[in-house]
């Protein structure tokens, strides 16, 4: 379909150097969908259909989150993105002492297959793509999802989505780790093997720079440390006996989009180029899909402010535009009130509408890589790439991502950058509208969404009923089989699946693995 500007000028699906006045025949930017994918991983990008619009949601009980998911789907969301509460992320049941006060607060509480069944009640899992932001216990939540899909009569081979499963960045920036790096990487490799056999359309990992950025990483640090982690995962899978082209096409990435639009576009283009070269030159990948850096983007929650929160609508629109101009495959736009509390139904809907305006009211999706040939963006792409490669070389000189993590390198580098940003904001050198400039004398009142503290009591009662009604001997037997697999070399996901099918809880399964693998205790930062 031919598209035109508001003035009637034709919009080409792809622009090339020869389309520019004064074009030098010696200049070549490459084609979209071709190595090294600087201009995008697909030839047509959004000219055929827009990116996948996801909305990150999950709070309180599974039933409450299910209601929000239904609203988002009815509002036009093409994919779901599940947030889990901290006890679930840390592998604890809702009735564990460490879970007290945190149940359902920053995401949905999932203790067993019973909760997962409620979470996706009435949602056709063969027609909805689901992303799950879960890391240390990622294998458990993925298996619970599969079990619920099987109860719906859905062939696991039809399931599409992504499990974050990126535990290395937890040691760097976020802290929701359980096991030491060695067993964690073994579990990641087991997920790769399991999904190749059982869930072939599932993206087995979403290697995340987003949380590093939230901790204060610069754009160059974000992609450098993310790609260094990705290299560690590839090496782990190869050491486990897998062929690179057998698992690399299912790798995906997760980045932030900040309000610094031009640098963010350059960052995404540089990341694609670096990854394509690493996969081809270092790992010998031959499948084009193994070379493609496909990524999800979330707008920058850390840049949202509690002061004059409506301004966040503008910030999110700019950030979302940066992600789209940078060639993201899917996008979550934050709600404007997230700096205050959990998003309300209205604010979540406005966040989704922001994406829909970008997709259907602007002309940005009508042509691939609109910034190609921009003097500023092409130069920034080269500069971000060079800075990221320098950091990656420093990580490699230390022995790779795991060795650098154990030495505290990435964490210290990010902390230094975060400190610099904080000092610049405090001094006013870095302007934050509504905070250190253009502030109001008195903020308007805002009524946030609050989580009912009685949720914890209800989850405790549900767990008590679960344990009373299940076959305890079958659970014990399944957990024993899991411990045996964890102590050996077998893929732990198969006994883990049977334990969850017998209605073992998330905390019990993680507890069995803790007994064998231990827990991780970080070294203090040295700077």
b/e per residue 500-518 (b: at least 16 CB within 10 A): bbbbbbbbbbbbbbbebbe
Confidence at residue 424, expressed as pLDDT on a 0 to 100 scale: 93
Distance of CA 525 to the CA centre of its chain: 25
Is 417 in contact with 218 (CB distance < 8 Å)? yes
Closest CA to 369 of 77, 34, 79: 34
What region, left, alpha or beta, does residue 96 occupy, with left being phi > 0 and alpha being psi -120 to 50 degrees?
beta
Cβ-proximal residues to 384 (8 Å cutoff; 6+ apart), any chain: 219, 220, 223, 263, 266, 267, 270
Helix (H) / strand (E) containing 426 = helix 409-427
**CB burial of residue 445 (10 Å; 0-12, 13-18, 19+):** exposed
Q: Please give the Cα distance from 348 to 345 (Å, whole number).
A: 5
| Class for the domain spanning 29-427 | alpha beta
| Strand-strand pairing, 3-4 and 10-11 | antiparallel
Radius of gyration for the alpha carbons in the chain, expressed in angstroms and rounded: 23
CA angle 262–326–38, rounded 5-degree value: 105
Domain regions of the chain by residue span: 29-427, 470-517
**CB burial of residue 76 (10 Å; 0-12, 13-18, 19+):** middle
Q: Please give the Cα distance from 438 to 435 (Å, whole number).
A: 7
End-to-end CA distance of the chain: 57
Extract the residue ranges of the chain whose pLDDT is less than 70. 5-7, 9, 20-28, 524-527
pTM score > 0.85 for this model?
yes
DSSP state of 257: E
Helix crossing, 219-239 with 261-277: angle to 10°?
20
Confidence at residue 56, expressed as pLDDT on a 0 to 100 scale: 75
Omega before 36 cis (within 30°)?
Answer: yes
CB 46: neighbour CB atoms within 10 A? Answer: 19
Confidence at residue 6, expressed as pLDDT on a 0 to 100 scale: 63
Q: Please give the Cα distance from 38 to 28 (Å, whole number).
A: 12
Confidence at residue 212, expressed as pLDDT on a 0 to 100 scale: 97
* 3-class secondary-structure state, position 33: coil
Distance of CA 84 to the CA centre of its chain: 13
Helix crossing, 493-501 with 181-198: angle to 10°?
80
């Amino acid at each position: 379909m031919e598209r035109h500007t508001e003035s009637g000028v034709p919009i080409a699906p792809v622009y090339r150097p020869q389309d520019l006045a004064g074009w030098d025949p010696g200049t070549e930017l490459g084609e979209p969908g071709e190595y090294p994918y600087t201009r995008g991983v697909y030839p047509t990008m959004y000219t055929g259909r827009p990116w996948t619009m996801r909305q990150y949601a999950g709070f309180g009980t599974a039933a409450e989150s299910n209601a929000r998911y239904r609203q988002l789907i009815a509002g036009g969301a093409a994919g779901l993105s599940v947030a889990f509460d901290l006890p679930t992320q840390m592998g604890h049941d809702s009735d564990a002492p460490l879970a007290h006060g945190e149940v359902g607060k920053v995401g949905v509480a999932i203790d067993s297959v019973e909760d997962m069944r409620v979470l996706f009640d009435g949602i056709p899992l063969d027609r909805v793509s689901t992303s799950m932001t879960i890391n240390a216990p990622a294998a458990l939540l993925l298996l619970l999802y599969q079990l619920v899909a099987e109860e719906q009569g859905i062939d696991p081979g039809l399931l599409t989505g992504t499990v974050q499963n990126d535990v290395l960045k937890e040691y760097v920036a976020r802290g929701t780790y359980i096991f030491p790096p060695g067993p964690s990487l073994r579990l990641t490799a087991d997920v790769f093997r399991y999904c190749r056999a059982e869930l072939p359309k599932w993206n087995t990992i979403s290697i995340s720079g987003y949380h590093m950025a939230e901790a204060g990483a610069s754009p160059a640090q974000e992609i450098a440390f993310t790609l260094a982690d990705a290299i560690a995962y590839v090496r782990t899978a190869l050491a486990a006996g897998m062929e690179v082209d057998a698992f690399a096409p299912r790798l995906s990435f997760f980045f932030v989009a900040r309000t610094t639009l031009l640098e963010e576009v350059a960052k995404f283009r540089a990341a694609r180029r670096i990854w394509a070269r690493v996969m081809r030159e270092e790992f010998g990948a031959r499948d084009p899909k193994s070379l493609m850096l496909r990524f999800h983007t979330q707008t920058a929650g850390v840049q949202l402010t509690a002061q004059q929160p409506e301004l966040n609508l503008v910030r999110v629109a700019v950030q979302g535009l940066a992600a789209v101009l940078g060639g993201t495959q899917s996008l979550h736009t934050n709600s404007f009130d997230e700096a205050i509390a959990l998003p309300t139904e209205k604010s979540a809907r406005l966040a989704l509408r922001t994406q829909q305006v970008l997709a259907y009211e602007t002309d940005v999706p009508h042509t691939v890589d609109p910034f190609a040939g921009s003097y500023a963006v092409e130069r920034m792409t080269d500069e971000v790439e060079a800075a990221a490669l320098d950091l990656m070389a420093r990580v490699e000189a230390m022995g790779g991502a795991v060795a650098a993590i154990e030495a505290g390198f990435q964490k210290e580098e990010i902390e230094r950058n975060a400190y610099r940003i904080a000092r610049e904001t405090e001094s006013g050198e870095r302007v934050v509208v509504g905070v250190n400039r253009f502030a109001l004398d008195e903020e308007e009142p805002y009524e946030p969404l609050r989580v009912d503290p009685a949720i914890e009591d209800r989850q405790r009662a549900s767990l008590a009923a679960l344990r009373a009604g299940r076959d305890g001997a079958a659970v014990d037997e399944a957990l024993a089989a899991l411990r045996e697999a964890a102590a050996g070399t077998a893929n732990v996901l198969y006994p883990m699946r049977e334990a969850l099918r017998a209605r073992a809880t998330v905390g019990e399964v993680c507890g069995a693995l803790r007994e064998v693998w231990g827990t991780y205790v970080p070294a203090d930062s040295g700077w």
